[in-house]
Structure 1
């Protein structure tokens, strides 16, 4: 008998400041949750003041829960590489520098690791970027949600200088390049979960 189709899957992506990563994926059809947090380090140092030192092994990350019947992991990667992150920037994104801003795909399954590794190889082979891709694919270990004031930040502060300059263009890019996958109303993190 065929296995019942999964209705929920998880992707954990790091691509610079989590405000923009979360803000984009909150507007993707099929995404049921996008939570800002930390991945790559230990629970003991998963707090913004400590992660901001760049010495914890953590990357600012977003845990994306999605319905694979509505949006594929491949589509999530396509959006990530097209509008979310510049995969050629090492330990930095936009104005932010440090290992906590690296671009990293924390694969939650061996299949995700395989798909992400092949996708990067295809982008590299096609010379989509003028510089080498430095995005890493790492086995997912744990995710620690960020402090409440970091959740829904883009939605709640769309005109803040940093967001207006660095992140609203990413949401506009999502709408322009992935119109069929764009949802107008963002899926927000409930106050009780952050």
Structure 2
């Protein structure tokens, strides 16, 4: 993959007068890895693992694992837009956190609950996501087409045992193989965005 760098005004450092916190909801495979990556982004104050795209009645791991609920494993990211912008979060999402060319899978995980999706929290986020995907496609950074969808739907927090999983279980085989390399990639590729 070619270097993933945009010199766009869209990725400029956000204005200091921005609101104190905003939220983003992103889905890109197992939420353990997504959470682990975004917890290491400067300006991110909280990351919660959960489900998005389906209804509240079946927003639990057992139901979502049936691949019949319409949910995707997702993370809700709370961030300070005076420190990190929504497009910068999208850059991390596309370049580090997952492979946006994989349909209904990421690594060893297969099914629509592992799809690549963005759940905008405002019309402005929806427009920025559309613009970002269009520019990413035009840049031909990836050999295959971007399959990330922009979707609507609420976010539902996953069970407590899923929260902070990578931090609580750093030596779990799944984390070692699939998620620790993503955090290392974030640090290597975007040192200005990385926090320990």
TM above 0.5, one fold?
yes
Give the superposition deviation at 1:35: 0.1
Instruction: Provide the residue aligned with 1:8 in structure 2.
Output: 21
In structure 2, how many angstroms separate the alpha carbons of the residues matched to 1:82 and 1:126? Answer: 13
Secondary structure of 1:6 counterpart = coil
Of residues 147, 171, 175, the one that matches 2:187 is: 175
Q: Is the 8 A contact 1:7 1:67 kept in 2?
A: yes
1:58 aligns with 2:89: no
Superposed, which structure 2 residues align to 1:70-149 within 5 Å? 70-139=83-152, 141-149=153-161
CA displacement, residues 146-175 of structure 1 (integer Å, 9 cap, x when unaligned): 000000001111111111111000000111
Give the superposition deviation at 1:109: 0.7
Of residues 42, 45, 49, the one that matches 1:32 is: 45
Structure 1 length normalisation: TM-score?
A: 0.91
Give the superposition deviation at 1:5: 2.9
CA displacement, residues 89-133 of structure 1 (integer Å, 9 cap, x when unaligned): 001111100000001000111111111111111111111100011
Structure 2 length normalisation: TM-score?
A: 0.90
In structure 1, how many angstroms separate the alpha carbons of the residues matched to 2:41 and 2:144? Answer: 28
In structure 1, how many angstroms separate the alpha carbons of the residues matched to 2:92 and 2:168? Answer: 22
Of residues 159, 165, 172, the one that matches 1:160 is: 172
**Aligned structure 1 segments of 4 or more residues deviating by more than 2 angstroms:** none
Instruction: Name stretches of at least 5 consecutive residues in structure 1 with no aligned partner.
Output: 185-194
Q: How many pairs does the alignment contain? A: 180
Give the superposition deviation at 1:181: 1.1
In structure 2, how many angstroms separate the alpha carbons of the residues matched to 1:13 and 1:46? Answer: 16
